[in-house]
Amino acid sequence: MTQTLLSINGLTKAYPGVVANDDVSFDIGVGEVHALLGENGAGKSTLVKMIYGLVKPDAGTMTLRSQPFAPPEPRSARADGIAMVFQHFSLFEALNVAENVALGMENPPPMRDLARRIREVSETYGLPLDPYRVVGDLSAGERQRVEIIRCLLQDPKLLIMDEPTSVLTPQEVEILFETLRKLSAEGTAILYISHKLEEIRALCDAATILRLGKVVGSCIPRDTTARDMAEMMVGSSLKTPEPSNRTLGDVALDITGLSVASPSEFGTSLKNIHLTLQQGEVLGIGGVAGNGQDELLAALSGEIRSAPDAIKLNGAPIGHLGPNPRRALGLLAAPEERLGHAAAPDMSLTENALLTGSVRKGLASNGFLKWGATQEFAEAIIKAFDVRTPGPANAARSLSGGNLQKFVIGREVLQDPKVLVVNQPTWGVDAAAAAAIRQAILDLAGGGAAVLVISQDLDELMEISGRFAALNEGRLSDIRPTDTLTVEEIGLMMGGAHGMEVAHV
């Protein structure tokens, strides 16, 4: 780790209206696991795109093993030993593993040799994978393995990983880390992008922290607390959401034997779900993405109907009702996808306030809209939730992710729900906005409402929810109090390691 592999000096890249990277410099040693830490929009992606040859810097230089390094395109970066695993997989579902790997190669060897090499590499690094399996049948963790193996076959000197654990269970994360540690021991440097601080503390040798395109600090993660790193990332001290006194009331939401088919061909159907939610309670639902989270939200919001008795709100059967009758009864929801589901991108915030607010806020009479009252409602949301926007006439798509999410959550919270269901309330949201949203959820529960939080962020669920359950292939695990849960138990509730195993050698 004494030798420097890649040295970055003063890299700068500006886009119209925003400087994505401003004079960024740091070094990565041979075999070092280097974390790149920062909030959304801090410039992490732009930086790795420059290293991978996807974007050309405006100023600054890089040296690779003391040689000037300025890849004009990803192909030449790969030739120099840089490999990258993207957050979103680029795999063809209809092809098998070996065919997918061959598609990414300049000169693929005959399929039989390639399959043998895939087997070799996968066994060496504890990533068991049958080269002849069709990718469409693989789990998210297994698909990631295909991407990693595709990179490893190039024998990389630097492996860039962009948020690799967002689709994995804790057990799968541990297996991935074993693989990465082994690679590092063999001299492969790893540039690890994440905002999950505990992971970085467990894995990385060094960390560079970016904020608004600038390097604001570096640290040795093992010797730094997660809180200190988070504060460097955000640039201010963080307020931890505080649960208010929880006194649980009557059962507000009662789901018994809810089974619904997914409306989407690639969705996950819900199978025999039971849960009860009390007034003043926050129940967290975890699970790897695509295990029925969207369907659960839709079944509760009324977008998917079910048997009347499957869902009861304060004792009244509502499974057969559509979204607006449910809103009238006090069951509100905020979906995961902000643009296009929770809000219409090209419509103004006023129009978007009407989207779910018309029933409870009385924004229409005899079908005729009260634009004045609607605008007041939108302004109230903007004010109460500190949504940064010039005004309610602006289009939803002009807001940043965090600001729009505050608007979407605020729109439901200000309607005084009896039961609120949220899916991924802080996904892609900066830390300050995330803290504000979590506080709003806790305050809502403190006021006697019942809240169901569906999230893939386990830290978030542990922080705000009193009880926890996990969705796995459309089934809900037992519901357990969060204060007695261990990470291993959570992992098993989420479906364990999906048949993965640890690196052998």
Of positions 367, 478, 483, 486, contacts other proteins by CB under 8 A: 367
93, 228, 337, 386: residue in contact with other proteins (rule CB under 8 A)? 337
DSSP assignments along 333-402, one per residue? EE-S-TBTTTB-TTSBHHHHHHHHHTTTTT-EETTEE-HHHHHHHHHHHHHHTT--SS-TTSBGGGS-HH
Taking CB under 8 A as the criterion, the residue among 108, 217, 323, 428 binding other proteins is 323
Identified binder of other proteins from the candidate list 226, 344, 479, 492, rule CB under 8 A:
344
Among 261, 316, 369, 384, binds other proteins (CB under 8 A): 369
Site size toward other proteins, by CB under 8 A: 39
Q: What are phi and psi of 438, to 5 degrees?
A: -65, -40
Q: Residue 378 burial (CB < 10 Å; 0-12/13-18/19+)?
A: buried
Out of 180, 273, 331, 342, name the contact with other proteins by CB under 8 A: 342
Return the structure tokens found at 197. Answer: 């601080």
Q: Which of 254, 351, 412, 460 binds other proteins (CB under 8 A)?
A: 351
The reply to whether 380 sits near other proteins by the rule CB under 8 A is no
Which residue type occupies 92?
F
Sign for the pseudo-dihedral over CA of 242, 244, 245, 248:
negative
d(CA 165, CA 286): 15
The contacts found for 63-71 with CB under 8 angstroms, 24 or more apart, are 63/6, 63/7, 63/9, 64/5, 64/6, 65/5, 66/4, 69/6
Q: Using CB under 8 A, which of the segments 280-288, 355-363, 430-438, 449-457 binds other proteins?
A: 355-363
Residue 69 beta carbon to other proteins: minimum distance, rounded to whole angstroms? 17
Which range touches other proteins (CB under 8 A), out of 50-58, 184-192, 213-221, 282-290? 50-58
Q: Does 362 bind other proteins (CB under 8 A)?
A: no
In the complex, least distance from residue 500 CB atom to other proteins, rounded to whole angstroms: 34
Distances (CA, A) of 76 to 51, 54, 56, 106: 11, 10, 13, 11
Structure tokens at 107: 């000169």
Cα(13)–Cα(264) distance, rounded to whole angstroms? 40
Question: In the complex with other proteins, which residue's Cβ is closer, 47 or 152?
Answer: 47
* Shortest Å, Cβ 485 to other proteins: 32
- Closest to 473 measured CA to CA, from 94, 190, 139, 160: 139
| Rounded (5°) CA angle 313-316-320 | 85
Regarding 239 and contact with other proteins (CB under 8 A), the answer is no
Amino acid symbol at 194:
S
- Identify which range of 32-40, 104-112, 168-176, 296-304 contacts other proteins by CB under 8 A: 296-304
SS3 state of residue 275:
strand
Taken in order 487, 492, 493, 499, the sign of the CA dihedral is positive
78 part of the interface to other proteins, by CB under 8 A:
no
Tokens of 160: 């860039």
> Where does this chain touch other proteins (CB under 8 A) — which range of 194-202, 233-241, 352-360, 429-437?
352-360
- Min separation Cβ 304 and other proteins, Å: 10
Residue 242-281 contact track with other proteins, rule CB under 8 A, x = bound = ----------------------------------------
Q: Which of 54, 238, 248, 432 binds other proteins (CB under 8 A)?
A: 54
Query: With binding defined as CB under 8 A, does residue 238 bind other proteins?
Result: no
Question: Of the candidates 73, 93, 250, 459, which one interacts with other proteins according to CB under 8 A?
Answer: 73
Q: Site for other proteins (CB under 8 A): which residue of 67, 110, 240, 368? A: 368
Q: Pick from 446, 415, 411: which is nearest to 328 by CA?
A: 415
Nearer to other proteins, 158 or 332 (CB): 332
Q: CB of 246 within 8 A of CB of 283?
A: no
| 485 three-class SS | coil
Q: How far is the CB of 334 from other proteins (least distance, A)?
A: 10
What are the residues whose beta carbons fall under 8 Å from the beta carbon of 68, sequence distance 6 or more? 61, 62
Residue 322 touches other proteins, criterion: CB under 8 A = yes
**155 forms part of the interface with other proteins (CB under 8 A):** no
Letters for 410-449 (x = contact with other proteins by CB under 8 A, - = none) are ----------------------------------------
Residues that bind other proteins (CB under 8 A): 16, 49, 54-56, 73, 301-303, 322-324, 327, 333, 335, 337, 339-347, 351, 354-356, 358, 364, 367-369, 371, 394-395, 397-398
